[in-house]
Amino acid sequence: MHWLTLNSSFTMKSFLSLYLFLSVFLNLTAQVNINDWPVYRGKPDLCGKSEFDISSEPKLLWSLATGAGTKSSPVISEGTIFFGNDKGTLVAVTSDGKIKWKFEGQSSIDAPPLIYGNKVIFGSSDGLLRAVDKVSGKMIWSYKTDNQIAGSANFWEKGDKSGIIVGSYDYCLHCVNPETGKQIWKIETENYINGAPSVSGNRIAFGGCDGFIRIIDPLTGMQKDSAEIGVYIAASPALSSDFAYFGDYEGTLYCVNISSGKILWKAVLGDSGQILAVPAVGNGLVIIGNDDKYLYCFNASDGKQKWKYRTNGSITGSAVITSDKVLFTSTDGNVYLLNQSNGTKIWNFYTGSSVSSSPAVIKDNFVILTDDGRLLSFGENTYQKNIK
């Protein structure tokens, strides 16, 4: 007490200086974090909603041909873009379209990687989940599942605990330590797990080819609830509040209450067509593409269709929504931008190749991958720069 009295002026000055420093630092950190797209669909809930608007007339800034086909989608961290390809190469690309480094694996990388801390974490068809250094591309650890990994990894955090989760064709959802790659837990299902698990609050949700949506406690790996759909679920669910939105292999979109496990509504998308995309959820809407070439928009509350937009190819990539726009790709080779309220086209760009990729969106910029392995960057600048 005596020390505080004698040094009150100094203490208050120091406190104010420290407060200002921390305010600036934390604000900058928040801006860096919000301007990243570190996980498939942007955030662990997989809702595909961007905090940033997209220009109504995006310009092609550059394109980079990487020499291999890809089924992956890009993710972004601190200005670097990461994705995998069919040759098993993980590629890191700078914001101006130059290759920063490559990690050569032994088998195809079909799913988007995950950025967690200083690591890029990705699965491949040899069943390995690998973590490499984000800056150098050097291997940090690997974890072996008993079959191929087709879906992206995700992460959960609770207090001082965290885990990396990934599904495998070995019928299991695996959880590993982010620092060591050692197993924390795994839960077995009755068939392949194709998609990425989604995370919201204290819940993990994932579907599988056994026709179930399962809700898991991240700390224990114990199943909390499930909903039986009875049809293959090849894609990932998007979690918003107490609801999971997802499609099945026969073209039906579902809304499930993950607290009760009850199906609240379902909507059939067209006459036929499997759903391989993850719904974009936000602004009271659920937006998803289908194998029948349409992008559909539904009310999130009751599943009533608001509009649909037809392309000339199947839509296997997942849409991204902003406050008023929808960005998505089609296997007809186009990138589309629609008005969110009525589904009218604002803009499109023909890439010259089929596109199955889901966009990664940051401030003033978005990137997509074509199926032949070209990375395209779009933004508001008027220059165009093609990098071979």
pLDDT at 316: 94
Residue 347: both structure tokens together: 């803009």
Would 2 be classed as within a structural domain? no
Domain residues for the domain of 383 are 43-387
Main-chain phi, psi angles of 23, to 5 degrees: -60, -45
Main-chain phi, psi angles of 56, to 5 degrees: -75, -15
Would 169 be classed as within a structural domain? yes
pLDDT at 106: 84
Would 29 be classed as within a structural domain? no
Residues β-bridged to residue 327: 320, 337
Burial class (CB in 10 A: 0-12, 13-18, 19+), 250: middle
pLDDT for 108-123, tens place per residue?
999 999 999 999 999 9
pLDDT at 70 over 60: yes
Question: Looking at residue 88, which CATH number applies to its domain?
Answer: 2.130.10.10
pLDDT range class, residue 381, cuts 50, 70, 90 = low
Residue 123 and residue 109 in contact, taking contact as beta carbons nearer than 8 Å: yes
Q: Which amino acid is at 344?
A: T
CA distance 346 to 328: 12
Would 170 be classed as within a structural domain? yes
Q: Which amino acid is at 204?
A: I
pLDDT at 273: 76
CA distance 177 to 246: 28
Mean pLDDT for the stretch of residues 355-366: 96
Q: What percent of the chain has pLDDT over 70?
A: 89
For residue 276, give the nearest of 195, 355, 370 by alpha carbon. 195
Would 20 be classed as within a structural domain? no
Would 243 be classed as within a structural domain? yes
Residue 120 and residue 132 in contact, taking contact as beta carbons nearer than 8 Å: yes
Would 18 be classed as within a structural domain? no
Strand segments, DSSP code E, in 271-313 are 280-282, 285-289, 294-299, 305-310
Residue 37 is classified by DSSP as B
Q: Per mean pLDDT, which range of 77-91, 132-146, 262-276, 313-327 is the poorest?
A: 262-276
Q: The whole model's pTM is what?
A: 0.89
pLDDT range class, residue 299, cuts 50, 70, 90 = very high
Map residue 231 onto helix, strand or coil. Answer: coil
CA distance 360 to 87: 22
Would 14 be classed as within a structural domain? no
SS3 content of the chain, % helix, strand, coil (to 5): 10, 45, 50
Mean pLDDT for the stretch of residues 130-155: 97
**Helices marked H in the chain:** 2-6, 8-34
Domain count of the chain? Answer: 1
Q: Are strands 198-200 and 128-133 parallel, antiparallel or unpaired?
A: unpaired
pLDDT at 21: 41
pLDDT for 158-214, tens place per residue?
999 999 999 999 999 999 999 999 999 999 999 999 999 999 989 999 999 999 999
pLDDT at 201: 87
Mean pLDDT for the stretch of residues 209-226: 95
Q: Per mean pLDDT, which range of 90-104, 130-144, 368-382 is the poorest?
A: 368-382
